[in-house]
């Protein structure tokens, strides 16, 4: 708190009046008055300095080590202003949040009483009223005149203290103290203290920010190097250090340093995501490298290089962005000879690297089988990239496979590149236009021409294609690419429809119920014998997918643990499919099953959140979003 200069004779009179009579003069600052009263209640001696809490010499050494980062910084600030401290006979204290003096600068505080204040605790309960205790209690800078201090022997000088706050919490206190009666330039004193306060706070905030940045950088599977203009490393993360062999120059480590785009960055030319080979005496790294100039104003003062092993990139893509298999071969269940033969064949095929064509009616489980084959293969750690062909324009489908040449100044990566080292699963492959199929086959066989590169890039990809129709017939009629058909023809697997494996219906139904219980964290439900009889009596034209839809509806509609025959709404019975739209009780049942979670409910009913909000409002259930949230 910035205060005007006070008459010290009057302040001394106020102090004596309180000490002699216990009376607070109205002119005493209220914070000082409150502190005096607390000190009197604690029976603190006020004539001379009491014996206070202090650290041992060994503890002082450890204390300063614990706070070495801030001591070093404040040392530098003090050195810049040391002449002013000496001229005005000032001392400065650096105090921790617990009230212990970490270090004193210039002339020691209370030097007539104590030879060394370092390690001393200077809380109100120790030394009584001081600018330190007021600043600490009220979290503001505070200027205190000598006669306001509790210890009478400290009245010969003034003091000003400021809390050092980071993220709303006091971390340290800086305190300036005069040790004689000379006139002080208070404005200069306060300006210097507040400038130091601001500087130390920004420094501590920067340290926290930098510590978090280093934590993040060390967790990334990327080598990060910051180089100065002389090409010496200023910083590198833990991943980058693994390649340096304790040296401080990339040129000393990498034999092909001239081909790494560091000097281009130092010349002001950035390089984005370029494939670069890094060669050391013992190893070669195939990386994706970015090198960026570091500018101060318009001048380039250094470069930042980020480089990631392509092998690590594949694993990161697979696990961090969800391009990994969700199902194993053992998530597929059945007991019939047809199913067991299929599962056994898939297990064998997964171990070799052939391309595969999965043929079967819609809903037979081709996608789950593709996931299972990928997970059981040697490519399991690499990405599984799924492309579902559609009736979109050929250009849209082409961009999905091959990417776009430019978007916002940078090319976008197609799914062919993302699948490098892994598996590309092409669902409903029969919908691919002939020309696009030819181009896809050519890229898979002869390499992909990447934008910005003159040579085609060889693709290490396993293709699993799935189709609902006879692909050979389509190729013979010229309706499907002959090249692509021959490419995926290494191994053909036919997935039998559900009507050919009737004995598996009960196994599948119970498995679906168990999966749903686990997925939605709900109690297990079971099918009665009569309900199972209803299910096994259906031909299931929509196969497993259709069976799953019927089971899901029954699961959410039945409040108890047993699903009876009358709870099963077969494909020809449309009443359950839309019942929640007309039946409030049916909607409430599903709403409770979802635990009031909009996203879960939308997934259960296969509708949009907007539609659900409309029915929530209709049935007067749950919160309805404001217009700004719609």
Whole-angstrom Cα distance, residue 247 to residue 243? 9
Digit-coded pLDDT (tens) for 348-402 = 999 999 999 999 998 899 999 999 999 999 998 888 899 988 777 888 889 889 8
Residue 120 pLDDT class (50, 70, 90 cuts):
very high
pLDDT per residue as tens digits for the range 178-211 = 876 556 678 878 888 999 999 999 999 999 999 8
pLDDT in tens, 446-461: 988 765 556 788 889 9
Residue 523 counted as domain residue: yes
* Same-domain status, 150 and 288: no
Give the pLDDT band (50/70/90) at residue 478. Answer: very high
189 and 122 both lie in a single domain: yes
Q: Which of 420, 401, 423 is nearest to 412 (CA)?
A: 401
Measure Cα distances from 38 to 23, 223, 356, 550 in Å: 14, 58, 84, 76
Ranges 93-97, 124-128, 249-253, 588-592: which has the least confidence: 588-592
- Token reading at 523: 């109690």
* Measured CA angle at 356 (ends 355, 358), to 5 deg: 160
Q: Quick one: pLDDT at residue 236? A: 93
Do both 344 and 478 map to the same domain?
A: yes
**Between 3 and 93, residue with greater pLDDT:** 93
- As a whole number of angstroms, the distance between CA 29 and CA 150 comes to 14
Determine, yes or no, domain membership for 506: no
In this predicted structure, the answer to whether residue 548 has a pLDDT above a threshold of 70 is yes
> Mean per-residue pLDDT for 296-310?
91
Whole-angstrom Cα distance, residue 515 to residue 265?
53
What's the pLDDT score for residue 627?
38
Q: Are 262 and 231 in contact (CB under 8 A)?
A: yes
Average pLDDT over residues 247-255: 90
Kindly state whether residue 580 falls inside one of the protein's structural domains.
Answer: yes
CATH number at residue 87: 3.30.450.40
Mean pLDDT across 293-299: 92
Q: Please tell me what DSSP assigns to residue 322.
A: S
Q: Confidence band (pLDDT; 50, 70, 90) for 114?
A: very low
61 and 147, same domain (yes or no): yes
Q: Is the pLDDT of residue 621 over 70?
A: yes
User: pLDDT tens-digit profile of 136-173?
Assistant: 999 999 999 999 999 998 898 889 999 999 988 999 99
Could you tell me which of 417, 427, 423, 418 has the C-alpha nearest to residue 447?
Answer: 417
Domain containing 596 equals 516-629
Q: How confident is the model at residue 115 (pLDDT cuts 50, 70, 90)?
A: very low
Helix count and strand count (H, E) for the chain:
25, 19
Could you tell me if 78 and 157 lie in one domain?
A: yes
Task: Provide the pLDDT for residue 581.
Answer: 67
d(CA 560, CA 557): 9
- Output the CA angle 263-264-265, nearest 5 degrees: 90
Residues 254 and 293 in one domain: yes
pLDDT over threshold 90, residue 342: yes
DSSP-assigned letter for residue 458:
P
Domain count, the chain: 4
Segment 83-89 shows an average pLDDT of 80
The single-letter DSSP state of residue 11 is H
Confidence band for 571, pLDDT divided at 50, 70 and 90 = low
**Per-residue exposure over 186-196, b if at least 16 CB sit within 10 Å of its own CB, e if not:** beebbebbeeb
Cα separation, 335 vs 508, in Å, equals 10
Rounded Cα–Cα distance for residues 367 and 373 (Å) = 10
Q: Is 551 a member of any domain?
A: yes
End-to-end, the C-alpha distance of the chain in Å comes to 48
Tokens of 244: 């340096």
Residues 236 and 200 in one domain: no
Report the percentage of the chain scoring pLDDT > 70. 87
Nearest in space to 280 (alpha carbons), one of 223, 230, 227: 223
Instruction: Measure the CA–CA gap between 278 and 262, rounded to whole angstroms.
Output: 12
Tokens 């009666």 belong to: 181
Report the predicted TM-score, pTM, of the whole model to 2 decimal places.
0.52
Looking at the structure, tell me whether residues 545 and 569 fall in a common domain. Answer: yes
Higher model confidence: residue 415 or residue 592?
415
339 and 478 housed in the same domain? yes
Dig out the tokens for 597 from the structure: 């979670």
The per-residue pLDDT for 574 is: 42
3-class SS at 184?
A: coil
Q: Of 501, 488, 498, 411, nearest to 448 (Cα)?
A: 411
The predicted pLDDT at position 321 comes to: 54
Q: At what angle do helices 131-138 and 30-41 cross, to 10 degrees?
A: 110
Beta bridge partners of 172: 96, 164
Q: Tokens representing 68?
A: 């070495």
* Strand-strand pairing, 562-563 and 526-527: parallel
Specify whether 484 is located in the same domain as 394.
Answer: yes
- Please give the average per-residue pLDDT across 295-314, as a whole number: 87
CATH number at residue 290: 3.30.450.20
Residue 429 has what pLDDT? 93
Q: Which pLDDT belongs to residue 187? A: 81
pLDDT band, very low/low/confident/very high, at 72 (cuts 50, 70, 90): very high
- 202-239: pLDDT as tens digits: 999 999 999 888 888 888 889 999 999 999 999 999 98
CATH of the domain at 464: 3.40.50.300
Which 3-state string (H, E, C) describes 328-395?
CHHHCCCCCHHHHHHHHHHHHHHHCCCCEEEECCCCCCHHHHHHHHHHCCCCCCCCEEEEECCCCCHH
Interval 409-458: pLDDT, tens: 455 678 888 888 899 999 999 999 999 999 999 999 998 876 555 678 88
CB of 374 closer than 8 Å to CB of 388: no
Q: How far apart are CA 601 and CA 607, in angstroms?
A: 9
Same domain, 367 and 413: yes
Angle at 287 between CA 286 and CA 288, to 5 degrees: 145
Of the candidates 211, 461, 219, the one whose C-alpha atom is nearest the C-alpha of residue 320 is 219
Q: What is the reported pLDDT for 237?
A: 92
Same domain for 369 and 257, yes or no, is no
Confidence (pLDDT) at 371: 93
- Which of 309, 342, 365 lies at the terminal end of a domain, its last residue? 309
pLDDT at 111 > cutoff 50: no
Could you give the CA distance from residue 255 to residue 411 in angstroms, rounded to a whole number? Answer: 30
* Percent of the chain surpassing pLDDT 90: 50
- Across 30-52, average pLDDT: 92
Q: What is the mean pLDDT of the chain?
A: 85
The reported pLDDT for the residue numbered 86 is: 80
CB-based burial of residue 327 (10 Å sphere; 0-12 exposed, 13-18 middle, 19+ buried)? middle
């Amino acid at each position: 708190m910035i205060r005007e200069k006070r008459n010290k004779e009057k302040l001394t009179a106020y102090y004596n009046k309180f000490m002699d009579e216990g009376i607070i003069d109205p002119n005493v600052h209220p914070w000082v008055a409150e502190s005096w009263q607390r000190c009197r209640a604690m029976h603190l001696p006020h004539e001379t300095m009491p014996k206070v809490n202090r650290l041992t010499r060994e503890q002082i050494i450890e204390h300063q080590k614990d706070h070495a980062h801030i001591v070093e910084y404040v040392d530098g600030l003090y050195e810049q202003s040391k002449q002013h401290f000496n001229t005005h006979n000032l001392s400065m204290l650096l105090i921790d949040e617990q009230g212990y003096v970490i270090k004193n600068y210039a002339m020691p505080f209370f030097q007539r009483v104590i030879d060394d204040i370092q390690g001393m605790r200077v809380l109100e309960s120790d030394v009584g009223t001081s600018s330190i205790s007021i600043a600490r209690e009220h979290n503001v800078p505070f200027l205190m005149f000598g006669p306001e201090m509790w210890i009478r022997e400290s009245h010969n000088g003034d003091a000003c203290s400021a809390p050092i706050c980071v993220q709303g919490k006091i971390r340290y206190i800086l305190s300036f103290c005069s040790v004689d009666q000379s006139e002080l330039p208070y404005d200069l004193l306060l300006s210097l203290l507040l400038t130091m306060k601001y500087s130390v706070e920004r420094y501590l905030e920067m340290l926290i920010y930098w510590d978090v940045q280093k934590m993040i950088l060390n967790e990334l599977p990327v080598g990060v190097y910051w180089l100065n203009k002389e090409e010496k490393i200023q910083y590198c993360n833990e991943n980058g250090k693994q390649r340096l062999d304790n040296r401080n120059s990339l040129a000393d480590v990498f034999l092909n340093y001239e081909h790494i785009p560091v000097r281009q960055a130092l010349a002001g030319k950035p390089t984005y995501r370029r494939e670069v080979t890094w060669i050391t005496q013992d190893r070669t790294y195939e990386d994706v490298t970015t090198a960026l100039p570091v500018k101060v104003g318009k001048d380039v003062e250094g470069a930042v290089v980020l480089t990631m092993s392509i092998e690590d990139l594949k694993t990161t893509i697979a696990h961090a962005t969800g391009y990994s298999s969700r199902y194993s071969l053992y998530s597929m269940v059945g007991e019939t000879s047809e199913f067991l033969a299929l599962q056994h064949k898939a297990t064998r095929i997964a171990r070799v690297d052939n391309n595969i064509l999965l043929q079967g009616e819609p809903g037979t489980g081709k996608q789950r089988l593709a996931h299972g084959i990928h997970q059981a293969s040697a490519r399991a750690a690499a990405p599984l990239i799924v492309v579902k062909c559609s009736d979109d324009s050929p250009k849209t489908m082409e961009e999905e496979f091959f990417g776009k040449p430019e978007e916002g100044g940078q090319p976008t990566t197609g799914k062919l590149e993302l699948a490098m080292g892994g598996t590309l699963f092409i669902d409903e492959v029969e919908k691919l236009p002939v020309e696009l199929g030819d181009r896809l086959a050519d890229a898979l066989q002869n390499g992909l021409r990447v934008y910005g590169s003159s040579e085609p890039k060889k693709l290490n990809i396993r293709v699993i294609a799935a189709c609902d129709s006879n692909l050979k017939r389509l190729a013979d009629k010229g309706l499907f690419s002959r090249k692509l058909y021959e490419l995926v023809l290494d191994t053909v697997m036919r997935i039998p429809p559900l009507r050919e494996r009737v004995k598996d219906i009960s196994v599948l139904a119970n498995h679906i119920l168990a999966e749903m219980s686990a997925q939605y964290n709900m109690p297990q439900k079971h099918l009665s014998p009569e309900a199972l009889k209803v299910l096994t009596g259906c031909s299931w034209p929509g196969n497993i997918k259709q069976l799953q839809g019927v089971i899901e509806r029954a699961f959410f509609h039945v409040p108890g643990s047993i699903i009876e025959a009358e709870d099963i709404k077969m494909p020809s019975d449309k009443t359950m499919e839309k019942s929640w739209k007309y039946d409030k009780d049916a909607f409430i049942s599903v709403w409770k099953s979802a635990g009031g979670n909009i996203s879960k409910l939308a997934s259960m009913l296969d509708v949009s959140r907007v539609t659900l909000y409309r029915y929530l409002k209709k049935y007067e259930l749950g919160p309805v979003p404001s217009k700004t949230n719609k």
